[in-house]
């Protein structure tokens, strides 16, 4: 079967870039991305590429290549489903915040809504592809809904998890380490295989059974997050002993069996996937009675929460046990550099902790809007909200502050005139570097009291 038309439901951080690259690389396939959110679709269609709903290096070029040619963004979900031979489901699957599995299980209500809509609208046979990260055996549920509520149309279900990381999404999509396709029906698998083989070397396209594919995605994220929690746990030990976590990471990373990536100590991992997927894994293990397995993975999250909390506690302790009325500048709000995404960002937790101690917070992030920062802090009351100021200028954010905390590893922070920043701060001038980003020696020479994660000032 040769695919000529694709529909993707969900124009988010996953659906948007993934489908844009498929359209760019397969000019003969019409790709329509649909979303319930009208303003999001309007932003994808905006002629000013600065207004795309997500910031991702290289994405504007991909959109320029394909939009209007064979890539379309629309809110007419029914029409796009009807026209497509292959439908990707790329809607969000947040952690459930109610009922059974609250705080752990994935909320699949949007997935189910999509399946029911596909079943209602479809008049011809279709391949349905799970792009969203889903708990193991979700494909079975989707198939059940499609087969029992459809109009006698045949559906094939494939699992095709996305491994792109935000900030490097376009690069990851152009040159993936691997593409994973889980399925049972050979014809459906080869239809999707043919799409990717337009630009991905065939030996990098892996086919497995559906359950292996679904579980591989959760496992990949769990392993990556585990590495971050592992190095973060060592960072605390380094601070107590005089070892330096960057040196330890370099030394262990040169062991080919360990590898050098994902060994950067930090303020704690964030992002929409790590916590959600591990909680999901923990929930699945528990539901099979595998308590040791569940406890093992849960510890990765416990460690991450500890890392975020101890960073803010250290600021409070160092500033003579009180930050009440003091100005603290937070540089960076996104969960990592090169994205405007703030989901589960450590900055949120750190700001909340400092505000609960009545600190005045000034935030600067090169890509995150003031509106988003305020949305992330909706849990605060009105009085606490007054303690937060968002600045468009890093020098203004840092001016007259008692301390600066680096929370995201934006490259531009390294280019600042730190002498000027120092001169405009209260003394002693503290910098808490949550990303080990700045040059320690230079910062100390300028006069800062410089405190970095995972290194002691012993
Ligand atoms: C999300 C999850 O984070 C990831 O784990 C999963 O693999 C894919 O979905 P992301 O693209 O980052 O990834 O989510 P988000 O940016 O929230 O985009 C989802 C989009 O789906 C939103 O724009 C939302 O409006 C849309 N949506 C949701 C629908 O169009 N219909 C629905 O029924 C539900
Ligand atoms: C992750 C996976 O990498 C990706 O394959 C999957 O599809 C979605 O989840 P993402 O969340 O976009 O991608 O970013 P990632 O680069 O994995 O970083 C996650 C968090 O870990 C960030 O907060 C980052 O700052 C942190 N991190 C990462 C560290 O603290 N140290 C590191 O060494 C690496």
In three state form, how does the secondary structure of the chain look? CCCCEEEEECCCCCHHHHHHHHHHHCCCCEEEEECCCHHHHHHHHCCCHHHCCCCCCCHHHHHHHHECCCEEEECCHHHHHHHCCEEEECCCCCECCCCCCCCCCECCHHHHHHHHHHHHHCCCCEEEEECCCCCCCHHHHHHHHHHHHCCCCCEEEEECCCCCCCCCHHHHHHCCCCEEEECCCHHHHHHHHHHHCCCCCHHHEEEECHHHHHHHHHHHHHHHHHHHHHHHHHHHHHHHHCCCHHHHHHHHHCCCCCCCCCCCCCCCCCCCCHHHHHHHHHHHHHHCCCHHHHHHHHHHHHHHHHHHHHHHHHHHHHCCCCCCCCEEEEECCCCCCCCCCCCCCHHHHHHHHHHHCCCEEEEECCCCCHHHHHHHCCCCCHHHHCCEEECCCHHHHHCCCCEEEECCCCHHHHHCCHHHHHHCCCCCCEEEECCCCCCHHHHHHHCCEEEECCCCCC
Q: Which atom of ligand 2 is nearest to the CA of 167?
A: 12
The 10s digit of each residue's pLDDT in 390-415 is 999 999 999 999 999 999 999 999 99
Task: Enter the tokens of residue 134.
Answer: 């889903």
- Residue 50: Cβ-neighbour burial (10 angstroms; 0-12, 13-18, 19+): exposed
Say whether pLDDT at 27 is over 70: yes
Atom 21 of ligand 2 has which residue's CA nearest to it? 269
Q: What percent of the chain is modeled with pLDDT above 90? A: 92
Shortest CA distance to 365 belongs to which of 315, 415, 410, 432? 410
Mean pLDDT of 193-214: 96
CA 274 to ligand 2 center in whole angstroms: 7
Please give the model's pTM, rounded to 2 decimal places.
0.95
Sheet order of strands, 71-74 included: 71-74, 30-34, 5-9, 86-89, 126-130, 155-159, 179-182, 205-208
CA 165 to ligand 2 center in whole angstroms: 6
For 16, 92, 106, the CA distances from 274, given in Å and listed in that order, are: 20, 14, 13
The 10s digit of each residue's pLDDT in 127-181 is 999 998 888 788 888 988 898 887 889 999 999 999 999 999 999 999 999 999 9
pLDDT of residue 259: 97
Catalytic residue among 130, 162, 214, 298: 162
Cα separation, 69 vs 63, in Å, equals 10
Task: Enter the tokens of residue 187.
Answer: 């014809």
Q: Is 374 a catalytic residue?
A: no
pLDDT of residue 437: 97
pLDDT of residue 133: 84
Residue 329 near residue 403 (C-beta atoms within 8 A): yes
The 10s digit of each residue's pLDDT in 429-443 is 999 999 999 999 999
Say whether pLDDT at 458 is over 70: no
Mean pLDDT of 80-101: 94
Q: Is the CB of residue 171 below 6 angstroms from any atom belonging to ligand 2?
A: no
Nearest ligand (C-alpha, residue 274) = 2
* Higher-pLDDT residue of 106, 63: 63
Nearest ligand (C-alpha, residue 409) = 2
Say whether pLDDT at 192 is over 90: yes
Mean pLDDT of 339-365: 97
Q: Is the CB of residue 262 below 6 angstroms from any atom belonging to ligand 2?
A: yes
pLDDT of residue 1: 83
Distance from first CA to last CA of the chain, Å, rounded? 66
Residues 6 or more apart in contact with residue 147 via CB below 8 angstroms: 155
Q: Is the CB of residue 300 below 6 angstroms from any atom belonging to ligand 2?
A: no
Q: Which atom of ligand 2 is nearest to the CA of 272?
A: 11
pLDDT of residue 139: 86
Q: pLDDT confidence of 68, banded at 50, 70, 90?
A: very high
Atom 33 of ligand 1 has which residue's CA nearest to it? 110
CB atoms within 10 A of CB 187: 10
CA 212 to ligand 1 center in whole angstroms: 23
Q: Is 162 a catalytic residue?
A: yes
Nearest ligand (C-alpha, residue 272) = 1
When the pLDDT of each residue in the chain is averaged and rounded to a whole number, the result is: 96
Q: Is the CB of residue 276 below 6 angstroms from any atom belonging to ligand 2?
A: no
Backbone angles phi, psi at 388, to 5 degrees: -110, 130
Q: Is the CB of residue 454 below 6 angstroms from any atom belonging to ligand 2?
A: no
Backbone angles phi, psi at 317, to 5 degrees: -60, -45
Mean pLDDT of 445-451: 97
Residue 356 near residue 383 (C-beta atoms within 8 A): no
Mean pLDDT of 290-317: 98
Catalytic residue among 7, 26, 273, 398: 273
Beta bridge partners of 157: 128
Q: Is the CB of residue 23 below 6 angstroms from any atom belonging to ligand 2?
A: no
Mean pLDDT of 358-380: 97
Residues in contact with ligand 1 by the CB-under-6-Å rule are 9-15, 35-37, 40, 90-93, 110, 113-114, 132-133, 272-273
Q: Is 247 a catalytic residue?
A: no
For 240, 365, 457, the CA distances from 440, given in Å and listed in that order, are: 18, 22, 11
CA 333 to ligand 2 center in whole angstroms: 15
């Amino acid at each position: 079967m040769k695919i000529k038309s694709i529909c993707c439901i969900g124009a988010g951080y996953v659906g948007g870039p993934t489908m844009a690259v498929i359209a760019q690389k397969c000019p003969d396939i019409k790709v329509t991305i649909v979303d319930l959110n009208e303003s999001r679709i309007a932003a994808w269609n905006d002629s000013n590429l600065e207004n795309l709903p997500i910031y991702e290096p290289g994405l504007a070029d991909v959109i320029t290549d394909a939009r209007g040619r064979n890539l379309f963004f629309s809110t007419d979900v029914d029409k796009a489903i009807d026209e497509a031979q292959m439908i990707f489901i790329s809607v969000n699957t947040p952690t459930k915040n109610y009922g059974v599995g609250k705080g752990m299980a994935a909320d699949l209500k949007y997935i189910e809504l999509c399946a029911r809509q596909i079943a209602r609208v479809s008049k011809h046979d279709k391949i349905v592809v799970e792009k969203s990260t889903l708990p193991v055996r979700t494909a079975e549920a989707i198939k059940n809904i499609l087969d029992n509520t459809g109009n006698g149309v045949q559906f094939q279900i494939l699992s095709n998890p996305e491994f792109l990381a935000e900030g490097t999404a376009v690069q990851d999509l152009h040159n993936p380490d691997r593409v994973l396709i889980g399925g049972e029906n050979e014809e459906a698998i080869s239809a999707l295989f043919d799409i990717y083989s337009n630009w991905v070397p065939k030996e990098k396209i892996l086919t497995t059974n559906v359950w292996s594919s679904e579980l591989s995605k959760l496992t990949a994220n769990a392993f990556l997050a585990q590495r971050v929690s592992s190095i973060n746990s060592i960072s605390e030990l380094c601070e107590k002993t005089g070892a330096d976590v960057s040196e330890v990471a370099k030394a262990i990373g040169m062991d080919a069996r360990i590898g050098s990536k994902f060994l950067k100590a930090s303020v704690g991992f964030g992002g929409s996937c790590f916590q959600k997927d591990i909680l999901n894994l923990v929930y699945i293990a528990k539901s099979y009675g595998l308590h040791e397995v569940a406890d093992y993975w849960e510890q990765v999250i416990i460690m991450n929460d500890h890392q975020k909390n101890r960073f803010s506690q250290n600021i409070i302790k160092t500033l003579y046990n009180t930050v009440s009325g003091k100005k603290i500048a937070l540089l960076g709000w996104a969960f990592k550099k090169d994205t405007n995404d703030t989901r589960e960002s450590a900055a949120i937790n750190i700001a909340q902790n400092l505000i609960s101690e009545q600190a005045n917070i000034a935030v600067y992030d090169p890509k995150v809007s003031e509106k988003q920062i305020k949305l992330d802090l909706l849990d605060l009351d009105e009085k606490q909200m007054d303690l937060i100021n968002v600045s468009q200028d890093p020098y203004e954010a840092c001016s007259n502050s008692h301390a600066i905390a680096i929370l995201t590893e934006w490259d531009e922070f390294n280019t600042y005139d730190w002498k000027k920043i120092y001169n405009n701060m209260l003394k002693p001038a503290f910098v808490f570097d949550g990303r080990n980003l700045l040059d320690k020696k230079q910062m100390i020479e300028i006069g800062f009291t410089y405190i970095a994660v995972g290194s002691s000032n012993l």
